[in-house]
């Protein structure tokens, strides 16, 4: 499908450039209301032809097997080498390894991990995130974004959630301002 050109987002791009420019591990949430342009911004910033070692995965509304198989497809398309994951745990581990090697990994529709069958992934991801945060030479980053604010909040801001207080950065999207590019 043909896409319209990409507009604006100068502030948000500058914020991301600042996060990337630190040259240190980051765990970033891109937030904003539905249809505001979260996915489009991430896809714009992570075009493989612009930047090496980026992986974008759109998490499907599916069971663990469906999520893992979709993630494998995205990994193949983005040139990730073996081992490819075979379950939720090895998916989290592979993402952690990629980040440790300096990759930027974006997980879109992250809110689906609040589903019971997928929730265990968040504990596995917590182990990876904690290891990366404790590794001074780690340079990659993880970006999460999703449509449903309450579910994203439950995953990232609830005291009982494995990923509670793990974010290092948040970028919130406002309305597009035309002419601001």
Ligand X SMILES: Nc1ncnc2c1ncn2[C@@H]1O[C@H](COP(=O)(O)OP(=O)(O)OP(=O)(O)O)[C@@H](O)[C@H]1O
Which residue minimizes CB distance to Mg ion? 39
Binding residue for ligand X (CB under 6 A) from 31, 39, 111, 122? Answer: 39
CA distance 25 to 6: 28
Quickly count: other Cβ atoms within 10 Å of residue 24's Cβ.
Answer: 17
102 binds ligand X (CB under 6 A): no
Q: Which is nearer to Mg ion, 59 or 88 (CB)?
A: 59
Region from 7-15, 94-102, 131-139, 159-167 binding ligand X, contact rule CB under 6 A: 7-15
Mark residues 129-158: x for contact with ligand X by CB under 6 A, - for none.
------------------x-----------
Region from 1-9, 65-73, 87-95, 129-137 binding ligand X, contact rule CB under 6 A: 1-9
Long-range Cβ contacts of 161-166 (<8 Å, 24+ apart): 161/122, 162/122, 162/123, 162/125, 162/126, 163/122, 163/125, 163/126, 163/129, 166/27, 166/126, 166/129, 166/130, 166/133
19 binds ligand X (CB under 6 A): no
Q: Which entry of Mg ion, ligand X, none binds 141, CB below 5 to 8 A by partner kind?
A: none
Q: How far apart are CB 21 and Mg ion at their closest, in Å?
A: 25
DSSP secondary structure letter of residue 110: G
CA distance 179 to 110: 31
Binding residue for Mg ion (CB under 5 A) from 39, 111, 114, 122? Answer: 39
- DSSP letters, 7-25, are ---HHHHHHHHHHHHT-S-
CA distance 25 to 140: 5
Residues of this chain that bind ligand X (CB under 6 A): 3-4, 6-9, 32, 34-40, 147, 176
Residues of this chain that bind Mg ion (CB under 5 A): 38-39
């Amino acid at each position: 499908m043909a896409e319209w050109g990409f507009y604006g987002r100068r502030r948000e791009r500058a914020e991301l450039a600042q996060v990337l420019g630190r040259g240190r591990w980051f765990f970033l949430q891109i937030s904003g209301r539905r249809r505001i342009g979260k996915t489009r911004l991430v896809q714009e910033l992570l075009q493989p032809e612009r930047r090496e070692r980026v992986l974008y995965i759109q998490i499907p509304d599916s069971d663990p097997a469906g999520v893992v198989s979709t993630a494998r497809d995205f990994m193949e398309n983005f040139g990730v080498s073996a081992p490819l994951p075979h379950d939720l745990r090895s998916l989290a581990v592979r993402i952690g390894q990629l980040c440790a090697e300096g990759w930027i990994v974006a997980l879109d529709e992250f809110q689906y991990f609040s589903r019971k069958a997928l929730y265990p992934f968040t504990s596995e991801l917590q182990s990876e995130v904690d290891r990366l945060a404790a590794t001074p030479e780690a340079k990659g980053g993880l970006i999460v974004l999703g449509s449903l604010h309450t579910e994203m909040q439950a995953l990232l801001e609830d005291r009982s959630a494995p990923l509670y207080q793990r974010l290092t950065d948040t970028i919130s999207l406002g309305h597009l301002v035309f002419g601001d590019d």
